[in-house]
Amino acid sequence: MAETHFSPEEIEERKKAIFDAMGKRGQRQITKMGYDKWDPFQEPKDPIDIRKDKTKRTSQQLIREFLTAIDADEYSNSYAQGALEMCLGIINEEEKIRGMFDFGQWYTRLLEEEGHDPL
């Protein structure tokens, strides 16, 4: 979003100055998408690696905590990869991962209720 303490004319001057300072390739990309639609003052989107879950942890923090809580001899690379995919899916609120998570919890309860050892 453009800064509000500048007049529309000042904003347009700054926008043109940024455009003129860009390389030819960057200018072509802006022209292709439409100079009028381009907002060089908008806030950047959060990179995926700094997204946090409800506990305010990043995916890297969560997976590190999880894997250090388990004996390294007890899991494979495939296991760690699955845990990471689950972690990223939970943080990104993916429906597929939510279904997997809910099923895992339900199945654990079912095993306990029927007197079986959990996985």
Which tens digits make up the pLDDT trace of 88-105? 999 888 999 999 999 999
- Cα–Cα distance measured from residue 54 to residue 38, given in angstroms and rounded to the nearest whole number: 33
Q: Which of 43-52, 72-81, 106-115 has the highest mean pLDDT?
A: 106-115
Whole-model pTM: value is 0.54
- Beta bridge partners of residue 58, listed in sequence order: 52
For the chain, what are the domain ranges?
Answer: 1-43, 48-113
How far apart are the C-alpha atoms of 116 and 6, rounded to whole Å?
68
Q: Which residues contact 97 (CB under 8 A, 6 or more apart)?
A: 85, 86, 89, 90
Instruction: Enumerate residues 6+ apart whose C-beta is below 8 A from 40.
Output: 14, 15, 18, 19
Going by C-beta distance under 8 Å and a sequence separation of 6 or more, which residues neighbour residue 100? 86, 89
